[in-house]
Chains A and B, each alone.
Chain A
Amino acid sequence: MDLNYSDEEKAFRAEVRAFLAENLPAEVSDKVRRGISLGKEGHEKWHATLNARGWLAYNWPREFGGAEWNAVQRHIFEEECAAAYAPRIVPFGLSMLAPVLQKFGTKEQQDHYLPRILSGDDWWCQGYSEPGAGSDLASLKTRAVRDGDHYVVNGQKTWTTLGQYANWIFCLVRTDPEAKQQEGISFLLIDMSTPGITVRPIALLDGTPEVNEVFFDDVRVPVENLVGEENKGWTYAKYLLTHERTNIAGVGFSQAGLDAVKRIARIETANGRPLIENPHFAARLAQVEIDLMAMATTNMRIISQAASGQAPGVESSMLKVKGTIIRQEINDLTRRAVGPYAMPFASEAVEGDNAPIGPDYAGPVAAHYFNNRKLSIFGGSNEIQRGIIAKVKMGG
């Protein structure tokens, strides 16, 4: 056992930190820290900055222009980015679709789509969930019927994150309604400008313009946009999910969130003393920090296994459950830390630069508390994860 990073890993961390210090503009990190949306351009700019350094596609193999970092390097990078309040990398093209294309796509598809993900020419979104297919994703109903050189797609996708920015969507569609649920699904790439596609924003409880419904009405998709084989889409979807689950523990986010709540609790006062000295608040803070310290090590244990070539199994489900519980607890503590100033609805602050009503850290914290209830719902709800853990460990 050795809990220390190697000299190489330490040097890598220093390199990442220096890069962020030099290339992350203060107004960008300030927005991230205050929870203000960057908008499409803001995200694209940051992607371009990382791409120029060769670090945008850090999980891609070198042959596709990636940095091919190992799990420890990725973890260090993610931790440093969270600590510096760098924008998160928008994952849909880079870490969800790209690995699928790299493993199952044709040479033509790889040559066409992968460079456009790196350059920012394409913004991808994910067409998985449907109103009737959430936790039970394989029950999806959106139909694709072969008609000559095209598939004709009809149906509806939902919870499409940042679909309003996207010009492409990768979709799971049903191509064989007669087959067993998982066996009649295909993986299609669809140009969002094709006639028959309607994107409708979903108003969320915290006011964030984040998710959408996407409707398909006789949408004609060229057959060359099929990834892999027809009716084998579920295999690719599962492969994609294993990539969606990298950084699933969110240790860096939790660490940054914990630092933020501590900073707030040093400024806020209760009974004339800093809130951080209040025994009840301090106890809650300590409890979640203790949990986070242990989970960070669990995370590293699993990352080390992955770095030595072992595929993570139920461990990623465990990390998802524990990681989201910790993040949500930190969101709750932060909301409570700001007291009455949690009540104003800083809707302007979500997209704009209006002067804050109370202290500048107070504006978005209650909205974040509500928004991050999604963490235990999406990407396979925590109930689904617990089911997986039990099933695997009991040999079901």
Chain B
Amino acid sequence: MDFNLTEERQMLQDTLRRYLADRYTTSVRNTILDSDSGMSAEIWAGLAELGVIGALFSEEDGGFGGAGFDIATVFEELGRAGVVEPMLDSAILGGRLIAALGDDTQRGLLEEIIGGAAHLALAHGEPASRYDLTRVETTARVDGDEIVLNGRKAVVVNAETAGHLIVSARESGGIFDLDGISLFLVPAGTPGLALHGYPMLAGGRAAEVMLDNVRLPQSARLGAAGAGLAPLMDVIAAANVALCAECVGAMQSAVELTRSYLMTRKQFGRPIGTFQALQHRFADMLIELEQARSALINASGHLDSADRDRQIAAARNLIARVGRLVAEEAIQMHGGIAMTQEYELAHIAKRIVMADHRFGDADYHLERFIVLSAA
């Protein structure tokens, strides 16, 4: 066993950490949060230039990584700095779906994605689907040479910036069937496509996406008809590794901020970190953070294994539980200051807690783990 990062990943980690420490300060990030686009084109270009996006793709797809540990390395640093730019959406969910399923023309987008010139969004979840990946009510109907989409997609992150949406729609079967889900590459601005955008509590933007007789050529089809669920589950598995890593990075920051606050904040004539009641709770945060890091390693190392889904369910359940503990305890031990947007921890805590709402909270992943363990 070897728990060290490879030389390349170590370099990537160092470079990315330095770049974000210099460029992604609390005040820069708060400006981004208040901006209309909810992201910084400059930061995005900077990340692309550093090779951060390329690290999330394999060599055959034009990148230089793409494994679970590459994803973990990148997202841990993004999480540490509380980055809100849509790396999960454009690269992991969008880019990797195109890498997996795209024909030669569609794969042409990969270069633009990796170079930072193009954005993508995955429009899969629907108002009633919650975290259930199989529930798809949006329909796709073949009409002569065309495909017609109808339906509504919920909380589509990065929809407004994306040049293309990857839309899932049902071509056959009932709304819970595993088969019959197809994927389509829908260019922004296609007639019948309407976006209602809004900011999100933990940063970034999303939109409700309405599809009203959206007509597409057959060439918009991504992958085989009715076979979209398996590739969706693949990219969502990668997204879950990314979310685990983002939370671990963010928790690391929360713990660091708490440590230095406990050592410097004085009440009753002494640093509050000298009170044993707080020392023990701080120690518990550290113990749980190590658990979270190990769970992340388990998930990252199993991204391409047969035990993938069970490992990922375990990691997301554990990290959701630890995340809540760390976010809440960090705020509590700081007191009011942690509730102000100007203080770094406020945003970090929101990133940790709100990760619960993407692809499943602790309960959802607990149930997945139980089902997969029984199988």
Contact = CB atoms under 8 A, between A and B. Distances in A.
Contact of A342 (B198, B341, B349, B357): B357
Given A205-B340, A205-B350, A341 B155 contact: yes
A367 interface: yes
A272 B367 CA distance: 14
A201 to B, nearest CB: 11
A239 interface: no
Interface string B211-231: 000000000000000000000
Contacts of A278: 363
Contacts of B335: 134-135, 377, 381
B215 to A, nearest CB: 27
Interface in A322-355: 328, 332, 335-336, 339-347
Contacts of A339: 130-131, 357, 361
Interface in A88-140: 129, 132, 134-136, 139
Interface string A245-274: 000000000000000000000001111100
A308 B197 CA distance: 57
A345 B201 contact: yes
Contacts of B194: none
Interface string A356-379: 011000000011011101101110
A163 B127 CA distance: 39
A203 interface: yes
B154 A205 contact: no
Given A205-B350, A271-B132, A280 B331 contact: no
Question: Per DSSP, are chain B's interface residues mostly helix, strand or loop, or mixed?
Answer: mixed
Nearest to B135: A272
B339 A344 contact: no
Contacts of A345: 198-201
A386 interface: yes
Given A278-B363, A341-B155, A367-B201, A383 B132 contact: no
A259 to B, nearest CB: 21
Contact of A205 (B128, B208, B341): B341
B363 A205 contact: no
Nearest to B265: A134
Contacts of B113: none
A340 B354 contact: no
A347 B339 CA distance: 16
Interface string B336-349: 10111110001101
A281 interface: yes
Contacts of B201: 206, 342-345, 366-367, 370
B130 A268 contact: yes
User: Which has the most chain A C-beta neighbours within 10 Å: B202, B275, B331, B336?
Assistant: B336
A11 interface: no
29 contacts: A132-B266, A134-B335, A135-B268, A136-B268, A203-B341, A205-B341, A206-B201, A270-B132, A328-B328, A332-B324, A336-B361, A340-B130, A340-B358, A341-B155, A342-B356, A343-B354, A344-B198, A345-B199, A358-B127, A358-B154, A358-B155, A366-B353, A370-B350, A370-B353, A371-B339, A373-B332, A377-B332, A383-B275, A387-B277
Interface of B: 125, 127-128, 130-132, 135, 154-155, 176, 196, 198-202, 206, 208, 266-268, 272, 275, 277-278, 324, 328, 331-332, 335-336, 338-342, 346-347, 349-350, 353-354, 356-358, 361, 363-364, 366-367
10 shortest A-B CB distances, which residue pairs? A205-B346, A136-B267, A203-B341, A345-B201, A280-B363, A339-B130, A340-B155, A345-B199, A342-B357, A343-B200
Interface of A: 129, 132, 134-136, 139, 158-159, 202-207, 211, 268-272, 278, 280-281, 284, 328, 332, 335-336, 339-347, 357-358, 366-367, 369-371, 373-374, 376-378, 381-383, 386-387
Given A340-B357, A346-B198, 7 more contacts: A129-B336, A270-B130, A270-B364, A335-B356, A340-B131, A358-B154, A373-B332
